[in-house]
Amino acid sequence: MIDLAQLDELARRLSGLVPPGLRGHLSEETREELQQNFKSVLQAGLGKLDLVTREEFEVQRAVLARTREKLEALERDVAALAGDAPATPARDTPQH
C-alpha cells in the first residue's frame, strides 16, 4: 500500500522544483492543481509497480533466513547419513 502522506510530500517537493520564473506567475489555485496532478501521476505510476511495504519485505526476509537455516541443517543431515551408509550397494534378498 502506498503511503499517501509520503506521496503528498513528494508531490509538494516536485511542485517546488518548478522554475522560479514560472512559480511567481502561478496562482495558489494553479499551484495546488499542479501538486494534485503530480500526486495523481505518481499514484498511478507507483500503483502499476509490484511494490511491497518495508514490513512485508522484512517478514519475507526473515522467512527466507529461516528457510536457509533449515536447508543447511537438512544438507548436514543428508551428508551425515550418506557418510554412515554402507559403501557397497544393497544385495537383493533371495526369493524362496
Full residue range of the structural domain in which residue 26 is found: 1-51
In the block, residue with C-alpha cell 518495508: 54
pLDDT by position in tens, the chain (length 96)? 567 788 788 888 887 777 777 766 777 788 788 888 888 888 888 888 888 889 999 999 999 999 999 999 999 999 999 887 655 555 555 555
Residues 65 and 24 reside in one and the same domain: no
Residues 40 and 76 reside in one and the same domain: no
Residues 36 and 61 reside in one and the same domain: no
**Does 58 map to a domain?**
yes
Number of domains in the chain: 2
CB 14 within 8 A of CB 45: no
- Render 3-26 in DSSP notation, one character per residue: -HHHHHHHHHHHHHTS-HHHHTT-
Compute the C-alpha angle 79/71/67, nearest 5°: 170
In the block, residue with C-alpha cell 544385495: 91
Quick count: other Cβ atoms within 10 Å of Cβ 39?
19
Residues 45 and 65 reside in one and the same domain: no
Q: Where are the beta strands (DSSP E) in 1-96?
A: none
- pTM for this predicted structure: 0.47
Residues 4 and 46 reside in one and the same domain: yes
